[in-house]
Amino acid sequence: MADATSPCDGGSLDFAESRQGRRAGLLARVGSAANWEATRNARLQASVDGGVTVHFATPEDERTILASIPTTLPQTATQDQETLLNEVTNAVEGNLAEGDDIGNGKLPPAWMDLSLHEPALKMALLKRTLQLTSHRLSDHALSTSPTLGDLWSHYATPTVPKKLAHTKTPAETRHQPQIPNVTVHPRRQTPIDREKSVGRWKVIEEELVQRGLPVTGTRFRGAKVEVLKRGREVRIS
């Protein structure tokens, strides 16, 4: 690697040959592509707000660099930027541009020719789209969507509604609650059912049989059966 020339000697310091990334030799383009003018070193300083401040060695270098930067864009570039801005704005607002109606067989906008061959990019896009629209595409639609326009065409196609035979009746929907702390039973739950669910009914039934008491119901009107559990002992009074 060649030794870099000191800035004090008036030589140029190439950025690729520099050992320190802070100082770089800035080349100002003058005339055609074959003519370049070497300027002295400039110092780059990063600010706390994320910007970068360039300190030129001499005012002449600063004027040369600033003069080489184009201030106006060609007319074609301006038109392309305006067209792209309008298409992106319509896409964000949900409005289709003229001639972009998918239902009439028209093609999507030209800026949707973005390739989706990278699996990571496609999966990230599908995940975000699923979160926003709750619309899931089939595996066949995903495999046949190499570009963003193809993927958009699948999303723009209206889904086929379910047939009446495949839809759930109100009674089926009512008996399938979505609340996690709700359980639906086919019949009314009695105290015996609740004791069976916790495993105490077998012990209670044995004690009732040993004492000659009815297992279900009462012998006389107004009888009251109280079950007290004290450790392993079950007392019925």
* pLDDT tens-place string over residues 141-151: 888 888 888 88
pLDDT, tens only, 180-193: 677 778 888 888 88
pLDDT at 102: 46
Which residues, given as ranges, of the chain have pLDDT below 70?
A: 1-40, 73-81, 88, 90-109, 169-180, 217-237
Q: How far is CA 220 from the centre of its chain?
A: 68
Distance CA 142, CA 136 (A): 10
β-pair partners for 44: 54
Place of tokens 């040959």: 17
Q: What is the longest distance spanned by two Cα atoms in the chain?
A: 119
**Rg of the chain (C-alpha set):** 40
pLDDT at 203: 92
Amino acid at 192: I
pLDDT at 108: 65
pLDDT at 156: 80
pLDDT at 180: 67
The structure's pTM equals 0.28
